[in-house]
Chain A
Amino acid sequence: MAKMTLDELRNLRDSKKKEMTQRDGDKNAQIVIGMGTCGIAAGAKDAFDAFLDELNAHDVKDTRITQTGCMGLCFSEPTVEVAVPDMPRVIYGNVDAKVARRIVNEHIIGKALVSDHIFDKPAQDIIDQGAE
């Protein structure tokens, strides 16, 4: 994109905002992997590969995998947030390749949470709700 003017920036923001909220309410499931230095050191890249591989193996096409920074739960790295429509958003901790495959099979496909690996975000993101 070329350099933007004020209006272009505002338009872009509005459209991206819509896109992001739509994505949340969309039918598509989403897997977000914490990939700061901490997550990567703990094996987030292996988990990432395992997710891709397992989704391909089952021909799951409506799930989006993306990366993010540190979620702050360093004691349970690598951490992964999973959002499936009509299910609560949850965070999984200690996700190695094996657990990643379990998440695809049990959570994404089987629509049940994977026991023993859910951690809770210690904070609700107030900015999420508070930003006008």
Chain B
Amino acid sequence: MAFKNYILVCAGTACESSKGIALYEALEAELKAQGVAAEAQLVKTGCFGFCEQGPIVKILPDESFYVKVGPEHAQQIVAEHIIKGRQIPELLYDKDQAAGTSSDDIAFYQKQQRIVLRNCGVINPEYIDEYIARDGYAALEKVIFDMTPDQVIQELKDAGLRGRGGAGFPTGMKWGFSKNAEADQKYIVCNADEGDPGAYMDRSTCEGDPHSVLEAMTIAGRTVGANQGFIYIRAEYPLAIERLNNAIDQAREYGLLGDNILGTDFCFDIELRLGAGAFVCGEETALLASIEGKRGMPIPRPPFPAVKGLWGKPTVINNVETWANIPMILLKGSKWFSSIGTETTKGTKVFALTGKINNSGLIEVPMGTTLREIIYDIGGGIKDGKKFKAAQTGGPSGGVITAEYLDTPIDYESLMSIGSMMGSGGMIVMDEDDCMIDVTKFYLEFTVDESCGKCAPCRIGGRTNYNILDKISKGQGKMEDLDTLKDLAQAMRKASLCGLGQTAPNPIMSTMNYFEEEYLEHINDSSCRAGKCKDLMSYTVVEEKCIGCTACARVCPVNCISGEVKTPHVIDQDQCIKCGQCFDKCKFDAILKG
């Protein structure tokens, strides 16, 4: 027999530490004591991502959401809610929604809002029918039969949609330039060359909802007068490629791509172009060169691709997330879209939340959401109860956001003003164990690797800055190195040809600004507070504390710890690779890190 109610108790690590288990046991005892164990099933769940309010209890099927619940509330929950079916107002998260109101339409902890990811994790991406059933291709219908191209462009302008690739250029204006450009041939391009470390928003969208991209590109084709589209995607996304190709085949079969779409004289087709994974090919002019079969190198703008792009023809190029927004905007209207977000930045943003966070994942939040809400309400806080240090957005082109700015509402301008940037949506969370020099060095290494080498500021400036950071991380830095870092960063920003070089120094500028003391410690004291810079630290055995249990010697991967059983051990400093395993293993605090 099915149960009448289900009591879900959060047993995630954060809630567990705030008495989730005691609560579970108290509820279990109460259900038995009050004789309703057969009516309600008690279930331990994973983290709901609302740890600041924990422990959390959710009761199904009415979805009552109780916060800060303690074992002392167990009696009341069972007596009132389970037996009498009455909500307990003082425990509800949303106090206004107390008893009597159905909670179906209340979006408890509604921090996320899914527009781009509307179908991801809902439909089967390999069946066009499921996309169509969820109003798929209805926006295309509207554009072909009920709207003029100018109306479409006006709608996008009114909606305030800005490019989600990172720069935030108004999409409607871009389309307008291409539409008004005179040419015998125009092109539509989707930039799916997602390259930031830790970012996978576009891959997930292509895999989970490929038709939303195809539909939007077809709409653009109709609007600006293009008959050919290209999706530029990196070859290391095999599943996304497979699903896109499959979706293209299905759309062609249904007459939603190809000649005479929906029986009209409008013709449009899409092909995939696979990139070899060069980061610079995410830059639009380099991307277009790559589609043309040339080496992926950027060229100066203007002219912009909207006027002179692929093979010299007007080309609308947008990124996956921008495309995925478009059908919804045209279906639900610019008014609806522009009601979401902040003054300057409308709609939502998808972030790939990674790093030292409990609930890493793919999230979509309205613009204007604060970093605190993302990290603590959705992300469930920092792993292992450590302290938040910074979040990195914008990948190798971005900067860090520190604890001080956790309450900044996120939009293009606000992130810019605190020295970071929106970027494509990678968000890496760092805790006290992360060294800012080390992180900066990682990003510099990436941009140095990925620089195409065409212009000197990026090619030489990037390498020189990397070498300086490397020196600092080894404790060999000098104070004047900091000035050189800054000077070179300025030169790269001003003189580099494309976005890659212009933004490559951002991580340096940002970390120097917010974590100057860490740079100074590395230079003056040869110390790394996070213990990441291996050249600046060593592990030693504290003789008085070591009881000779041999645990460290057994775990050491290079066998550099020696000593007899029950006598203090010694670490051979020349052999030690500073992996820290002995430090973690020792139960007697007998290994000193520093």
Contact partner of B61 (CB less than 8 A), chosen from A38, A74, A88, is A88
Q: Mark B46-71, 1 if CB is under 8 A from A, else 0.
A: 11110000000010110000000000
User: In the complex, what residues of B have CB within 8 A of residue A86's CB?
Assistant: 2
The verdict on A113 contacting B43 (CB below 8 Å), with A16-B130, A71-B121 known, is yes
- Return the chain B residue nearest A67 by Cβ: B124
A residues near B258, Cβ cutoff 8 Å: 3
Instruction: Kindly list chain B residues whose C-beta atoms are within 8 Å of the C-beta of A94.
Output: 46
B458: interface (CB < 8 Å): no
B8 engages A124 (CB within 8 Å): no
Cα separation A16 to B123 with both chains bound (whole Å): 12
Pick the contact of B239: A17, A36, A90 (CB < 8 A).
A36
Contacts A70-B362, A73-B361 given; does A12 touch B113 at CB 8 Å: no
Interface residues of A in 113-132 (CB under 8 A from B): 113-120, 122-132
Q: Which residues of A contact B360 (CB under 8 A)?
A: 74-75
Enumerate chain A residues within 8 angstroms of B207, measured Cβ to Cβ: 36-37, 69-70
Q: CB-CB < 8 A to B134: which residues of A?
A: 20, 127, 131
A60 within 8 A of B: no
The distance in angstroms between the C-alpha atoms of A33 and B337, with both chains bound, is 31
- Which B residues are in CB contact (< 8 Å) with A113? 6, 8, 41, 43
Cα A71 to Cα B46 with chains together (Å): 15
**Which residue of chain B has the shortest Cβ distance to A127 in the bound complex?**
B118
Per-position binary interface string of chain B over residues 230-254, scored 1 when its CB falls under 8 Å from any chain A CB and 0 otherwise? 0000000101100000000000011
A2, CB-defined interface residue at 8 Å: yes
Which residue, of B107, B121, B136, B145, has the highest number of chain A Cβ atoms within 10 A?
B121
State the CA gap A123–B348 with chains docked (Å). 13
A112, B3: Cα distance in complex, Å: 7
| Residue from A116, A122, A131 within 8 A of B11 (CB atoms) | A116
Bound CA–CA A105/B359 (angstroms): 28
Q: Closest residue to B352 on the A side, CB-wise?
A: A74
Q: With a CB–CB cut-off of 8 A, which chain B residues contact A68?
A: 120-125, 208
Bin chain A's interface residue count. 35 or more
Q: Which residues in A have their C-beta under 8 angstroms from that of B117?
A: 72
Instruction: Please list 14 pairs of residues, one from A and one from B, whose beta carbons are closer than 8 Å in the complex, sorted by A's number.
Output: A9-B132, A9-B141, A9-B256, A37-B207, A68-B122, A68-B125, A69-B120, A74-B361, A117-B45, A118-B43, A122-B359, A123-B111, A123-B113, A131-B332
- Interface flag for A57 (CB, 8 Å): no
Using a CB-CB cutoff of 8 Å, which residues 78-94 of chain A contact chain B? 79, 81, 86-88, 90, 93-94
- A119 CA / B129 CA spacing, docked (Å): 29
Q: How far is the CB of B296 from chain A (nearest CB, A)?
A: 24
Q: Does B262 contact A9, Cβ atoms closer than 8 Å?
A: yes
The 7 closest A-B pairs by CB, nearest first: A69-B208, A3-B255, A123-B112, A71-B121, A16-B133, A88-B60, A72-B362
Contact A20 B133 (CB under 8 A): yes
Question: How many pairs, one residue from A and one from B, have CB atoms within 8 Å of each other in the complex?
Answer: 198
Check B532 for interface membership: any CB of A closer than 8 A.
no
A22 to chain B, nearest CB (A): 11
Do the beta carbons of B130 and A20 come within 8 Å of each other?
Answer: yes
Asked if A70 contacts B105 (CB within 8 A), the reply is no
Interface flags for A14-26 (1: CB within 8 Å of B; 0: not) read: 0011011000000
Contact of B364 among A17, A81, A88, A123 (CB under 8 A): A123
- Across the interface, A125 reaches (CB within 8 A) one of B118, B125, B256, B331, namely B118
Nearest chain A CB to B425's CB is how many angstroms away?
13
Contact mask B359-385 → A, CB, 8 Å, 1/0? 111111000000000000010000000
B520 at the interface (CB under 8 A from A): no
Q: Which residue in chain A gives the minimum CB-CB distance to B363?
A: A72
The docked-state distance in angstroms from the alpha carbon of A90 to that of B46 is 12
Chain B positions 294-320 with a Cβ under 8 Å from a chain A Cβ: none
Distance of A5 Cα from B60 Cα, bound (Å): 44
Supposing A68-B125, A70-B362 touch, asked if A115 and B44 sit within 8 A by C-beta, the answer is yes
Query: How many angstroms between the C-alpha atoms of A76 and B358 in the bound complex?
Result: 10
In the bound complex, do residue A4 and residue B8 qualify as a contact, i.e. CB atoms below 8 Å apart? no
Instruction: Tell me whether B61 and A4 are in contact (CB under 8 A).
Output: no
State A4–B122 Cα separation when bound (angstroms).
25
Partner of A4, one of B42, B45, B255: B255
Q: Determine the chain B residues whose CB is within 8 A of the CB of A119 once the complex forms.
A: 45-48
**CB–CB B125/A69 < 8 A:** yes
Q: Within 8 Å of chain A (Cβ to Cβ): is B519?
A: no
Judge whether B361 and A75 touch: CB under 8 Å: yes
B46 touches A70 (CB 8 A): no
Q: How far is the CA of A50 from the CA of B42 in the complex (A)?
A: 26
Instruction: Please tell me if the beta carbons of A1 and B254 are within 8 angstroms of each other in the complex.
Output: yes
Decide if B262 touches A4 in the complex (CB within 8 Å): yes
List the B side residues contacting A5 at CB < 8 Å: 255, 262-263
Is B185 an interface residue, CB under 8 A from the partner? no
Q: For the complex formed, measure the closest distance between the CB of A82 and the CB atoms of chain B, giving whole angstroms.
A: 13
